[in-house]
Amino acid sequence: MSSPATIPFPHQFRPLTASGIYRRAGLALAVVVSAAVARGGWPAAAVVVGALAGAMVGDLFAALLSHPVRFTALRGWRTTVIALIVAAATPAAAGPAGAAGAGFLALVVGVWLPGGPGRYWLHPALVGIALATIVLPGYAEPVTTLDTLAAMGDPGRLAEMLSGRIGRLGIFVPADAFASFLIVDIPPQAPLAAGLLLPTLLASLIVFGEDLVPPVLPLAYFVSWAIVTWGIGGLPATAWAGEPLSVAATSLMPLTLFFVLIEPGTRPLHFGGLAAFGVTAGTTAALLERSALPGAAPLIAVLVAGSLVPLFDWLHVRRRAR
Amino acid sequence: MNIKRSGGIRPQSSERITESGFWNAAVPSVCVVPLQQHAGSRVEPTVSVGDVVREGMPIGRAGGRLGVPVHAPIPGRVSQVGETILADGTRSRAIAIELSGEFDRLGRALSRRDWSSDSPDDVRERIRDAGVVSTGRTALPAHVLLQVSRGSPPPRLVLDIAETEPYLTADAELVAVSAETVLEGLRIAARALDTSDLHAVVSRGHARAGRAIRRVAGSSPLRIHTVTHRYPANLPEQLRRATGDRGSDVQQVVVTPSTVHAIYEAVVYGKPHIDRIVSVGGAAAVRPAHIRVHVGTAIGEVFAECGGLREAPARIVVGGALTGLHVATINTPITKTTAAVLALTEDEIRAGEEQPCIGCGACARACPVALNPMLLNNLILEGRDAQADAAGLMDCTECGLCAHVCPSRIPLVARFAGAKRGVA
């Protein structure tokens, strides 16, 4: 009885619960959405409230009707996360009604129609946004830059205000720094979270720190997007900022990379499938950015790639069974 | 059944430390000996209240080929013949013995018997008479496990030192401390099977056991194979692959170190199967250790032997941390197949309210037999048993990993076990 023997326990997985996963995702998204509200003011806040209300009403509505599972998606923060993604990706000009409609559709059609939590394979928020674009009049109609800026408040004035408040504490931060943080120069029809690169990167620390998304997924997306974009001769002049890095910074790509792709229920099960999913989404996004839908390209690309997730999983199972 | 090379989990190796080796637990003042400790024939008591029994005396008799007798683990007086509740919740007839008198074997030098001239039938007979029960995945009488149909080719006998489930380390410890007796027990088992095709599969995590068995194997025909330290590592198909079998028709008989150790004691010393080595663990246990315990000892006394509990455990478990059974009372007796008793804390059991599946696929990645537990769960919830069967429900080994890794705390393995009984 001399040398010690080890008893191994518990295991390699992080001990997160389902609600813990979504709570952390919700916390990360709240950072981005809060920055969007700080930039956009009351109109942006109304969009967020609208998306949350629409999603919750949709969840309760669908759960009350009939379903084989005895839980509502509202429990465990899932609805909150979906609603925040809807809000972040909704054009500010759509207003709270449009956001509520998108949130409602995300839960009813995106979550409950395929059978409820754990049974959908297309990202519910993307489904909701896509349907809202189709069925809700005015949800994604083009507006001028001036209109959008008016709808989103005055970021320049907000930057001045923040600089002044912090200056009273003896800390000098130039207003330009806040302006760059809040991205004044956003394109027409910009979604709420467009251009919030720094808050998004900050929030991504929570996502990766908690191991909520396998790094292979955003990596495969970004690398394939960059290669395809470079391979086809760069972005056309009609795309948002006209050059790839600006598009990457000011479009919904950061939101997609760190938050849309974290949804556990809509990503492939295994490493190979994750890589294939990322490559498909990144390639599709690069191609779509040359089309008439440059702003929504990342979201549409994930939706398209998501439709192939069952195929990726099936191929993996077949290979393993051999 | 599909066995993928990945899957499973890699247990961490630096969280719980216990002493190596084992000691004999104090003899309990009362032993409640369950009569039904194995699958097979019903065992009837052969003693009644007030009878005086000696250590190792038969107190239960089973009819039929699948039955083995049950012996008194301690000398004393039969105080009660009634029922007890086993760890799996089933009721079994049991005999309570109050300690008195003197031991015939414990603490005495026993004379060694030469078994080299025994025939396979003789060996099996001795094993049966000693009441040896296999302590592997199925609690079969050992003499039944070691019998192959006449005319069939010699089977492959595999010593399983690849049990990697957290806390189930008693077998590996037995090999590390007493490799000579384990190897001799394996040779006796080989004689019973009339085979010379001997293999041992060792997990890399059991390095001391691996070294010990290599040291004593020497020039014997035992072939030793090493496998990665993952859980699970000792499913029948995994052991077949580990021994280099790529789909032959040779029958594989798997025995555990504690089984062959009991066989050794039965054949060499004529000792009945009345005790076994048990892992005592869990964060709530004061002194995690391996101890040799008499069959019929209450779980509470086993913990007391190891210093008691440092806090109220969230769950008392008999067996491994993943496949073990949650018992409601610490009066549950130790049986011939009890490999571990655990006092687990809230952190260890990771209990929580069941939440909806989030489709994260952790269960599918962990499943060692390449099932899709998410799909199976949905099919079972919807009552589509035929589709669940077609999706591989019956291939589930009930290793417990899917439920363990599930962030939604869905009791997947319990649900599958229930559905399997329904489907079957």
Q: What is the pLDDT of residues B335-384, one digit of tens each?
A: 999 999 999 888 777 667 788 888 888 888 888 888 889 889 989 988 88
Residue B3 pLDDT: 43
Closest CA to A219 of A296, A279, A172, A304: A279
Q: Rounded CA gap, A146 and B278, in Å?
A: 76
CB contact under 8 A, B370 and A320: yes
Measured in Å, how far apart are chain B's first and last C-alpha atoms?
Answer: 17
Residue A178 pLDDT: 66
Q: What is the mean pLDDT of chain B?
A: 87
Write the CB contacts of B394 (distance below 8 Å, at least 6 apart in sequence): B420, B423, B424
The least confident of A59-68, B108-117, B163-172 is: A59-68
Residue A251 pLDDT: 73
Q: What is the pTM of this model?
A: 0.76
Helix-helix angle A175-182:A18-40, to 10 degrees: 120
Number of helices (H), then strands (E), belonging to chain B: the values are 14, 18
- What are the phi and psi torsion angles at B65 (to 5°)? -70, -30
Report the gap between the CA of A216 and the closest CA in chain B (Å). Answer: 16
What is the DSSP pairing of strand B223-227 with strand B198-203?
parallel
Q: pLDDT tens digits for chain A (322 residues)?
A: 333 333 334 433 346 788 888 888 999 999 999 988 887 778 888 999 999 999 999 988 887 776 555 555 556 688 899 999 999 988 777 888 989 999 999 999 998 888 877 788 899 999 999 898 888 876 765 443 334 444 455 556 666 776 777 777 777 766 766 665 555 455 556 778 877 778 888 888 888 887 788 889 999 999 998 898 888 776 655 545 455 666 666 678 888 888 898 888 888 888 888 999 999 999 998 888 776 566 678 888 999 999 999 898 888 777 666 5
Helix, strand, or coil (residue B191): helix
* Whether complex ipTM tops 0.95: no
CB contact under 8 A, A321 and B381: no
Q: Does A206 or B295 have the greater pLDDT score?
A: B295
Residue B320 pLDDT: 85
Q: Does B188 or A133 have the greater pLDDT score?
A: B188
Tokens 């590390």 belong to which residue?
B176
Helix-helix angle B170-177:B257-269, to 10 degrees: 50
Report the gap between the CA of A271 and the closest CA in chain B (Å). Answer: 10
The type of residue at A288 is L
pLDDT tens readout for residues B25-77? 999 999 999 998 877 778 889 999 999 999 999 999 887 778 889 999 999 99
- B/e letters for A44-65, b = 16+ CB within 10 Å, e = fewer, are bbbbbbbbbbbbbebbeebbee
Helix, strand, or coil (residue B330): coil
Q: Rounded CA gap, B335 and A196, in Å?
A: 64
Q: Rounded CA gap, B259 and A249, in Å?
A: 65
Q: Rounded CA gap, B291 and B302, in Å?
A: 8
Residue A211 pLDDT: 77
Residue B275 and residue B262 in contact, taking contact as beta carbons nearer than 8 Å: no
Between positions 278 and 317 of B, the ones with CB within 8 A of A are 279, 281, 288
* Beta sheet of B315-318, edge-to-edge order: B22-24, B289-294, B275-281, B340-344, B315-318, B325-327
CB contact under 8 A, B10 and A12: yes
* Exposed/middle/buried for residue B59 (C-beta within 10 Å: 0-12, 13-18, 19+): buried
Q: Using CA of residue A61, residue A64, residue A66, residue A67, what is the dihedral sign?
A: positive
**Which chain B residue has the Cα nearest residue A320?**
B4
Q: What residues in chain A have their Cβ under 8 A from chain B's Cβ atoms?
A: 1-13, 15-22, 68-69, 71, 73, 75-76, 78, 115-121, 264-270, 317, 320-321
